[in-house]
Chain A
């Protein structure tokens, strides 16, 4: 059944091509059902391949399917091939599973959109690219998928492109990702220059045999870190992800929470022997990038009022957890967290989409409250997602986050401490969100506090959503925009919520810490890790302490948020510092640097191009023209001049023969 692997990306690709040709004719809702069916088929194919892999003994779980030689160019030979191993199939399983649910959800969410079929066209193309990314057997295939998901991300973020904000958010995502892609590309060049191949099998075997020098491995690992930081929104390249929330909410759930942004984590787990072959400080760099991202993003999330922005910064923070897991050598925990995060964060995003849908396109949490009475299913599932991400046992997030923190404890106490603070903040800001949205009194008929009063004195401006997630409602509806009570969403939207909530509860069972036998995911991934997984030989007491401490932190975060946002014991302004709300001014600093000195640099480059580069070209042209003008006077048109030239030439040739030639 392993031969079926090509079907996994081929089915969504076929869906994409069908929608490309027939999309408009199929229309709503057939286009959506077709795309969902393609994803469901892809999921079934993945399950089949998974079962085939499961049949094999533990150390034989590698299968390479080469479709054709893709790039035959001299020494460079790259196959279009798929690598089936425990790691890639684990990724493919949850990607296809979550993607199927989100496709189903989108059928309800995108109801009535004029570009309904185009949305599913992009979604299917995204899924196909993502699957090529994880299943590719060489770096170039991964890069193909890497660029494909980037393109789809761009297309989907700016899906409602008529709004300037959405279009520029898409551009920002794309441009920021280019910086990361540069790192990935140079890493590929370096790999090829060193070992003459781009396939993972060669890269891994030469890393383990020591054929790649430590300095080269360091270079490759750091360049891949640049690539991963761009795609997975790590410091300092994370600025695009919050803006990417301008896209439709299913896109945020699928691309910017569950799948695409975890590509960087996948990449590092895939090339773990390279990290092992690099200098000792490389994992530390990865860990510090991760933990600082986790901490900074968590502080920013505390002060956001847009329901999706909170989740966006939360995603960045959780990705930071995955990165410092990698830096601590906890590859299994990183993948474990990728999976549990995919479930609960997709759940939270879809839940927020359901809220936005039910609230008639309102995204500001200050205008929500008490929603659990109006949207019982959304409310209940969102609360499951909240408990999972906050790290409350026995929900899935607790198990994966605790495992990461345990490895961090064993690796470096400083990273563990910072990670724990980030975990505390996670519990806090998620509780804040849940309390603001689902508990307390309904607030959608109240005017916003001063902060939202827009300059210009337009009274309607107050009820405008902060960022236009959904195409704006009809203009004449604006005055009584929110008088209507929120309503629960249709079944296509609540069914995925329920399924994901179930997964978010039980996914912790994939890798339970109690006895070694319960490390299902750990044993399953072992062949892909080549013994590079760190070993924690902490006593049971330490493990219990670390786990207990993270439970205390989670509960403390929840309790603190309850004090502030439920019982109103403290003024929330104390916590929502301006530095947090402004995202530590990182984004605006970038903007200022690029617009100030950056702009001057670009102008300088443009000037250099115009005057020096173009000048050289134009100089050659005008030099030829001046020379030609001078030389044309030689052409008198008089026969005698030519005759004289011929005669003199004959004399010169004759003279040469007379003096040179020997008689």
Chain B
């Protein structure tokens, strides 16, 4: 059985869905963060797959941008989470609903 590009795309879609659903239903900030990372990497996988399928290196170079942005985002996001956890240990994402109208 040959592993075609479609398999990778389906895998990426599944990973993205797991990440999206996890983001929506989990309350632990760290887990939600990991879900975001999962979604980003699912997209990366899609890019790489299409780059190979279409024989275009552009898709692979975009992945580098996504990785850099994800790293930067993790730095900022973790800093925020650490700051929140210091003030309110054990807080969930729903506890910090400061923007509630």
Residue from B23, B94, B100, B101 having most chain A Cβ neighbours under 10 A: B101
Closest chain A CB from B31 CB (angstroms)? 12
Give 8 nearest A-B pairs by CB, closest first: A637-B97, A635-B101, A637-B100, A632-B101, A637-B99, A640-B24, A639-B93, A643-B23
| Bound Cα distance from A638 to B101, whole angstroms | 11
- Identify the closest chain A residue to B97 (Cβ): A637
**Chain A residues closer than 8 Å to B32, beta-carbon distance:** 639
**Chain B residues closer than 8 Å to A636, beta-carbon distance:** 97, 100-101
Closest chain A CB from B40 CB (angstroms)? 14
- Encoded as 1 (CB less than 8 Å from any A CB) or 0, chain B from 74 to 101 comes to 0000000000000000000110011111
Q: Does A633 contact B (CB under 8 A)?
A: yes
| Bound Cα distance from A61 to B18, whole angstroms | 101
**Chain A residues closer than 8 Å to B23, beta-carbon distance:** 640, 643
Q: A638-B93, A639-B93, A640-B25 are in contact. Are A633 and B101 (CB under 8 A)?
A: yes
Q: Does B20 contact A (CB under 8 A)?
A: yes
Q: Does A574 contact B (CB under 8 A)?
A: no
Which residues 21-44 in B have Cβ within 8 Å of A in the complex? 23-25, 32
Closest chain A CB from B23 CB (angstroms)? 5
- Encoded as 1 (CB less than 8 Å from any B CB) or 0, chain A from 620 to 645 comes to 00000000000111111111100110
**Chain B residues closer than 8 Å to A647, beta-carbon distance:** 20, 24
Closest chain A CB from B94 CB (angstroms)? 6
B20, B25, B98: the one contacting A637 at CB < 8 Å is B98
| Bound Cα distance from A170 to B58, whole angstroms | 89
- Identify the closest chain A residue to B32 (Cβ): A639
By size class, the interface of chain B is 10 to 19
| Bound Cα distance from A637 to B95, whole angstroms | 9
Q: Does the CB pair A635–B100 fall under 8 Å?
A: yes
A-B contact count, CB below 8 Å?
31
**Chain A residues closer than 8 Å to B99, beta-carbon distance:** 635, 637
| Bound Cα distance from A633 to B100, whole angstroms | 8
Closest chain B CB from A310 CB (angstroms)? 78
**Chain A residues closer than 8 Å to B100, beta-carbon distance:** 635-637
**Chain B residues closer than 8 Å to A631, beta-carbon distance:** 101
| Bound Cα distance from A325 to B4, whole angstroms | 112
Q: Does the CB pair A644–B101 fall under 8 Å?
A: no
Closest chain B CB from A398 CB (angstroms)? 90
Closest chain A CB from B14 CB (angstroms)? 16
**Chain B residues closer than 8 Å to A639, beta-carbon distance:** 32, 93
**Chain A residues closer than 8 Å to B94, beta-carbon distance:** 638, 640
- Identify the closest chain A residue to B21 (Cβ): A647
**Chain B residues closer than 8 Å to A634, beta-carbon distance:** 101
| Bound Cα distance from A647 to B32, whole angstroms | 15
| Bound Cα distance from A647 to B99, whole angstroms | 19
Contacts A638-B94, A640-B93 known; 13 new A-B pairs at CB < 8 A: A631-B101, A632-B101, A633-B101, A634-B101, A635-B99, A635-B100, A635-B101, A636-B100, A637-B97, A637-B99, A637-B100, A637-B101, A643-B23
Closest chain A CB from B97 CB (angstroms)? 3
Secondary structure at the B interface, as helix, strand, loop or mixed, is helix
**Chain A residues closer than 8 Å to B93, beta-carbon distance:** 638-640
A-B contact pairs, 14 of them (CB 8 A): A633-B101, A634-B101, A635-B100, A635-B101, A636-B100, A636-B101, A639-B93, A640-B23, A640-B25, A643-B20, A643-B23, A643-B24, A647-B20, A647-B24
**Chain B residues closer than 8 Å to A635, beta-carbon distance:** 99-101
**Chain A residues closer than 8 Å to B97, beta-carbon distance:** 636-638
| Bound Cα distance from A636 to B95, whole angstroms | 11
- Encoded as 1 (CB less than 8 Å from any A CB) or 0, chain B from 43 to 61 comes to 0000000000000000000
| Bound Cα distance from A643 to B97, whole angstroms | 14
**Chain A residues closer than 8 Å to B20, beta-carbon distance:** 643, 647
| Bound Cα distance from A635 to B20, whole angstroms | 20
- Identify the closest chain B residue to A633 (Cβ): B101
**Chain A residues closer than 8 Å to B101, beta-carbon distance:** 631-637
| Bound Cα distance from A643 to B29, whole angstroms | 13
Closest chain B CB from A12 CB (angstroms)? 68
| Bound Cα distance from A639 to B23, whole angstroms | 9
| Bound Cα distance from A644 to B94, whole angstroms | 14
| Bound Cα distance from A32 to B71, whole angstroms | 91
Closest chain B CB from A111 CB (angstroms)? 76
| Bound Cα distance from A644 to B100, whole angstroms | 16
- Identify the closest chain B residue to A632 (Cβ): B101
| Bound Cα distance from A643 to B32, whole angstroms | 11
| Bound Cα distance from A633 to B99, whole angstroms | 11
| Bound Cα distance from A217 to B101, whole angstroms | 66
| Bound Cα distance from A647 to B19, whole angstroms | 12
- Identify the closest chain A residue to B36 (Cβ): A643
Closest chain B CB from A637 CB (angstroms)? 3
**Chain B residues closer than 8 Å to A644, beta-carbon distance:** 24
| Bound Cα distance from A637 to B98, whole angstroms | 6
Closest chain B CB from A322 CB (angstroms)? 75
**Chain B residues closer than 8 Å to A640, beta-carbon distance:** 23-25, 93-94
| Bound Cα distance from A647 to B98, whole angstroms | 21
| Bound Cα distance from A644 to B20, whole angstroms | 9
Closest chain B CB from A644 CB (angstroms)? 6
- Encoded as 1 (CB less than 8 Å from any B CB) or 0, chain A from 307 to 320 comes to 00000000000000
Which residues 5-25 in B have Cβ within 8 Å of A in the complex? 20, 23-25
| Bound Cα distance from A647 to B17, whole angstroms | 11
Closest chain A CB from B76 CB (angstroms)? 15
Closest chain B CB from A639 CB (angstroms)? 5
| Bound Cα distance from A637 to B94, whole angstroms | 8
Closest chain B CB from A400 CB (angstroms)? 84
| Bound Cα distance from A644 to B24, whole angstroms | 7
- Identify the closest chain A residue to B35 (Cβ): A643
| Bound Cα distance from A644 to B25, whole angstroms | 10
| Bound Cα distance from A647 to B24, whole angstroms | 10
| Bound Cα distance from A497 to B25, whole angstroms | 105
Which residues 264-311 in A have Cβ within 8 Å of B in the complex? none
**Chain B residues closer than 8 Å to A643, beta-carbon distance:** 20, 23-24
- Identify the closest chain A residue to B27 (Cβ): A640
**Chain B residues closer than 8 Å to A637, beta-carbon distance:** 97-101
Closest chain B CB from A219 CB (angstroms)? 60
**Chain B residues closer than 8 Å to A632, beta-carbon distance:** 101
Closest chain A CB from B34 CB (angstroms)? 14
- Identify the closest chain B residue to A643 (Cβ): B23
Closest chain A CB from B88 CB (angstroms)? 15
- Identify the closest chain A residue to B24 (Cβ): A640
**Chain A residues closer than 8 Å to B98, beta-carbon distance:** 637
- Identify the closest chain B residue to A644 (Cβ): B24
| Bound Cα distance from A635 to B93, whole angstroms | 15
- Identify the closest chain B residue to A640 (Cβ): B24
| Bound Cα distance from A487 to B99, whole angstroms | 90
**Chain A residues closer than 8 Å to B25, beta-carbon distance:** 640
| Bound Cα distance from A636 to B93, whole angstroms | 12
**Chain A residues closer than 8 Å to B24, beta-carbon distance:** 640, 643-644, 647
- Identify the closest chain B residue to A629 (Cβ): B101
**Chain B residues closer than 8 Å to A638, beta-carbon distance:** 93-94, 97
